[in-house]
Amino acid sequence: MTDDVVVLGSGYAGTGAVKRLESVLDDEADITWVSDVDHHLVLHESHRCIRNPEVKEKITFDVAEIKAPSTRFVQGRVTDIDADERILTLEDDSTIDYDYLLVGFGSRTAFFGIEGLEEHSLTLKTLQDALDIHEAVTEAAREASREDRAQIVVGGAGLSGIQSAGEIASFRDKHRAPIDIHLVEGLDNVFPNNDPVVQAKLRKLLEEKDVEIHTGEFIGEVDEETVYVGDETELDYDVLLWAGGITGQEAAATADVEKDERSNRIEAASDFRTSDERIFAIGDAALVDQPDTDQPAPPTAQAAWQAAEVAGENIARAIRGQPLKEWTYDDKGTLISVGEKAVAHDVKGLPVDTFGGPAAKALKKTVAARWIKKVNGFADAAKAFPDM
Ligand SMILES: Cc1cc2nc3c(=O)[nH]c(=O)nc-3n(C[C@H](O)[C@H](O)[C@H](O)COP(=O)(O)OP(=O)(O)OC[C@H]3O[C@@H](n4cnc5c(N)ncnc54)[C@H](O)[C@@H]3O)c2cc1C
């Protein structure tokens, strides 16, 4: 009898795992791929659509083009994972049985209980989110004037906050729009908990782009007009984009596996197995153990796509009763854009620790193109390259 393998999510984790499963499984299992959207989104370049919505064509790929004909795709939002019965329930109440489940459905934005934040902010997790931010910024710019400039506040200066602020600044420059941009980070510097040299470089690029940086005080409350930062700063806003953190998907809460209590991100060993031997978890949805450290693998595209390769193979191994492979995250470096410019940090194999300029920009483009090539082939990678 063949096993049913179900993969959740069409992001880096899900897409990478499906491709790997298709290449390693023979006829011993049927693959069902479930996602709430019918495309793969290159989420780590989604901020480009804030400046230019036409980029969406370059960073979304139909699952029908990605998957093998033998893989069944079901579009639907998973609402319940019954680990005892091995059944998933979707939003429309339909169900899917599985023998092995790979959870790769990413994360949601975390609001940390900050009053008014969820109600009044935009977030960036989907293609539609990026297009909505573009629309909101465009509308705010249209209603503003040189004397009464539109105020755009971005909360959170991690990868998505910094890169989004950079794109909003490029939008402003391209359209000569009367916009002020504020980037608010509660910790002491932009790109917190990272190397001070890369932090300084990013700060410089953001300041050159006229992004006003506020660090060291947290957003405490938001109402329909104002973001309250610490005890003294009040920022009136027309558009508020919140990029301050991630938490687990709602459906993860329903699965009877070990999870982080606060976030519901699923605990997985370094072979991706969870406390239920039929359920594996990777990507932002998971907290994947790493040897010799108490920190899990980071919630990045880079980690998700590395993990997907091994997780796909491990499911095939589990089906065959073979020992599973351990995975250690291999940090190949960080590439961050600020509009047209970029910073590269700790890139493996290069003698310089941190650099910007054309070399960093070219590397950033190359990494995005490499992923697109893997997902959908060289032609699409080449088409996307100029916009990355
Ligand atoms: C603007 C931005 C910039 C970023 N920049 C970088 C960067 O430069 N480098 C880097 O490494 N990382 C970056 N990241 C982080 C990176 O994008 C994530 O870590 C990565 O997307 C995680 O991959 P994933 O497959 O786990 O989740 P996702 O890519 O989020 O994919 C989750 C998938 O699951 C689907 N889904 C969600 N819920 C359900 C459900 N209930 N049922 C069915 N399907 C569901 C979603 O539609 C999606 O297809 C950035 C993120 C953002 C937002």
Q: Provide φ and ψ at 72, rounded to 5°.
A: -90, 130
Domain assignment present for residue 351? The answer is no
Measured distance CA(329)–CA(88) in Å, rounded:
29
* 202 belongs to a structural domain: yes
158 in any annotated domain: yes
| Domain final residue pick, 242, 259, 290 | 242
Distance between CA atoms of residues 376 and 34, nearest Å: 19
For ligand 1, atom 51: residue with the closest CA? 44
Q: Domain ends where: 208, 226, 242? A: 242
Residue 277 lies in a domain: yes
Of all protein residues, the one whose alpha carbon is nearest to atom 38 of ligand 1 is 105
Last residue of a domain, one of 305, 320, 335: 320
Answer yes or no: do 255 and 280 share one domain: yes
> Measured at the alpha carbon of residue 66, what is the angle toward residues 61 and 69, in degrees to the nearest 5?
140
User: Which pLDDT belongs to residue 29?
Assistant: 97
Whether residue 344 is contained in a domain is answered as no
Q: Please give the tally of structural domains in the chain.
A: 2
Within 10 A of 26 (CB to CB), how many other CB atoms are there?
Answer: 8
* Nearest-CA residue for atom 4 of ligand 1: 44
The one-letter amino acid at 280: F
* Probe residue for ligand 1, chosen from 105, 330, 364 as the CB with the greatest number of ligand atoms within 8 Å: 105
281 and 173 part of one domain: no
Q: Are residues 77 and 145 in the same domain?
A: no
**Containing structural domain, residue 170:** 117-242
Residues 13 and 98 in one domain: yes
Question: Do 50 and 128 reside in the same domain of the chain?
Answer: no
Q: Measured from the CA of 130, which atom of ligand 1 is nearest?
A: 1
- Ligand 1, atom 5: nearest CA belongs to which residue? 44
Residue 167 lies in a domain: yes
104 shares its domain with 253: yes
User: Same structural domain for residues 251 and 105?
Assistant: yes
How does DSSP assign 75-140, residue by residue?
A: E--EEEEETTTTEEEETTS-EEE-SEEEE---EEE--TT-BTHHHH-B--SSHHHHHHHHHHHHHH
Q: Check residue 351 and give its pLDDT.
A: 86
- Within a domain: 212: yes
Atom of ligand 1 minimally distant from the CA of 302: 11
Bridge-partner residues for 5, per DSSP? 31, 100
CATH number at residue 126: 3.50.50.60
Nearest protein Cα to ligand 1, atom 46: 9
- pLDDT value of position 137: 98
Say if residue 194 is in the same domain as residue 285. Answer: no
pLDDT of residue 167: 98
Give the DSSP per-residue string, 27-44. Answer: TTEEEEEEESSSEEE-GG
Residue 284 is assigned to a structural domain of this protein: yes
**Confidence at residue 21, expressed as pLDDT on a 0 to 100 scale:** 98
- The reported pLDDT for the residue numbered 352 is 86
State the Cα–Cα distance between residues 101 and 88, nearest whole angstrom: 9
283 CB within 6 A, ligand 1 = yes
Contacts of 129 (CB under 8 A, 6+ apart): 46, 122, 123
Q: Are 317 and 323 in contact (CB under 8 A)?
A: yes
Question: Are 359 and 202 within 8 A, CB to CB?
Answer: no
Same-domain status, 253 and 284: yes
**Amino acid at the residue 91:** E
Report CA(20)–ligand 1 centroid distance (Å): 18
Residues 139 and 60 in one domain: no
pLDDT average per 10 residues of sequence, the chain (388 residues): 95 98 94 98 97 96 97 98 98 98 98 98 97 98 97 97 98 97 97 95 97 98 98 97 97 97 96 98 98 93 96 97 97 95 94 92 93 92 90
Query: DSSP 3-state assignment of 375?
Result: helix
pTM of the model: 0.95
In angstroms, what is the span from residue 129 Cα to ligand 1's centroid?
12
Distance 134 CA to ligand 1 centre (A): 19
